[in-house]
């Protein structure tokens, strides 16, 4: 039985109830976060909470939870749910009004929900050595505020489903200028001639915490050249390696794109090295 947090209380999942007038339910009017926790140790807690607080501020949801309070909730959920490999999911909506109206209501308490779900045990760099990910690519048809980790995920869900229906693990997205943005639930890295390239942060992609940790770890612990720059889908098709990253999958190597092999169609050498570095240093941040 899983134990969740709702508005100050811990309870069984089946006892957690919200109003149908909650704006998260009606409009997807909320911000969420997923923090990986392995045996009670979280990865990137501080940047995850900062991203959530930035998102809440950007959409004008006023919630007076301190970082310490969030830490307590995350740790309690990990303990109450068995401390294995967990994604700690935090979800804050603008709250439940008395009627359905687009304008932000005044004097409504935000709804705060949190739960833990199982994620794979710390992916070891050899976990994907035999089997990498297959991706399709398509034009990014989401909105222009993809830097906000909004609970309104229908655009992402529809893109993810395109890949899923094609028998793939993820859908790689590019804008109208054929520049890569990210994937439907991951950031992207393209590797060419030993250089590790990832699209720069802007409104077209989520500032992924795994992306940030990968960049910080590469800078601190390797001599690979890194470039945060525009990278096109054509470049991705010529790449030696492609990786996608997210909190629950860490760094995953991509071995095929639109049915064609990436590089030699095998899991890449540089991925092996960077995934090992990530495993070693991910708890330092």
Site string for ligand PMP, 179-218 (x = CB under 6 A): ---x--xxx------------------x-xxxx-------
Task: Name the residue nearer to ligand PMP (CB basis): 95 or 199.
Answer: 199
In the complex, least distance from residue 175 CB atom to ligand PMP, rounded to whole angstroms: 14
Beta strands in 28-110 (DSSP E): 30-38, 41-42, 85-93
Residue of 137, 150, 169, 245 interacting with ligand PMP (CB under 6 A) = 245
Residue 248 CA neighbour count, 13 Å, CB half: 13
Give the other-Cβ count within 10 Å of 158's Cβ: 13
Q: Identify the residue whose tokens are 């749910």.
A: 81
Distance of CA 114 to the CA centre of its chain: 16
> Which of 50, 80, 106, 149 is an active site residue?
149
Told to judge if 149 belongs to the known catalytic residues of this protein, a careful annotator would answer yes
Please pick, from the candidates 246, 253, 267, 268, the single residue that binds ligand PMP as defined by CB under 6 A.
246
CA dihedral 255, 260, 265, 267 (to 10 degrees): -10
Return the sign of the alpha-carbon dihedral for residues 272, 273, 275, 279.
positive
The piece of 81-89, 160-168, 239-247, 255-263 that touches ligand PMP (CB under 6 A) is 239-247
On the 0-12 / 13-18 / 19+ scale of CB atoms within 10 A, 130 is exposed
Query: By rule CB under 6 A, what count of residues binds ligand PMP?
Result: 14
Q: Is 172 in the site for ligand PMP (CB under 6 A)?
A: no
67 DSSP β-pair partners: none
Chosen residue from 49, 247, 268, 271 binding ligand PMP by CB under 6 A: 247
* Of 147, 267, 282, the residue nearest 218 (C-alpha): 282
Binding string, residues 78-107; x marks residues near ligand PMP by CB under 6 A:
------------------------------
So which residues are the catalytic ones? 149
| Site of interaction with ligand PMP (CB under 6 A) | 34, 156, 182, 185-187, 206, 208-211, 245-247
């Amino acid at each position: 039985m899983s134990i969740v947090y709702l508005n100050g209380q811990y309870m069984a999942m089946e006892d957690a109830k919200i109003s149908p007038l909650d704006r998260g339910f009606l409009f997807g009017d909320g911000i969420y976060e997923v923090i990986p926790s392995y045996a009670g140790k979280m990865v990137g807690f501080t940047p995850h909470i900062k991203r959530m607080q930035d998102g809440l501020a950007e959409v004008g949801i006023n919630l007076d939870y301190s970082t310490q309070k969030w830490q307590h909730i995350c740790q309690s959920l990990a303990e109450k749910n068995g401390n294995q490999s967990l994604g700690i999911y935090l979800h804050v909506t603008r709250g439940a009004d008395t009627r359905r109206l687009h304008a932000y209501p005044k004097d409504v308490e935000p709804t705060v929900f949190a739960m833990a779900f199982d994620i794979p045990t710390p992916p070891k760099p050899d976990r994907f050595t035999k089997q990498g990910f297959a991706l399709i690519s398509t034009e990014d048809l989401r909105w222009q505020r993809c830097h906000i980790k909004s609970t309104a995920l229908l655009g992402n869900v529809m893109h993810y489903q395109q890949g899923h229906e094609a028998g793939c693990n993820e859908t790689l997205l590019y804008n109208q200028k054929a520049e890569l943005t990210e994937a439907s639930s991951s950031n992207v890295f393209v590797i060419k001639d030993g250089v590790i390239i990832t699209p720069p942060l802007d409104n077209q992609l989520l500032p992924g915490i795994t992306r940030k940790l990968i960049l910080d770890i590469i800078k601190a612990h390797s001599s690979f050249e890194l470039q945060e720059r525009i990278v096109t889908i054509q470049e991705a098709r010529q790449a030696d390696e492609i990786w996608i990253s997210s909190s629950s999958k860490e760094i995953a190597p991509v071995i095929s794109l639109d049915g064609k092999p990436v590089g030699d169609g095998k899991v890449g050498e540089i991925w092996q090295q960077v995934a090992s570095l990530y495993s070693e240093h991910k708890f330092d941040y």
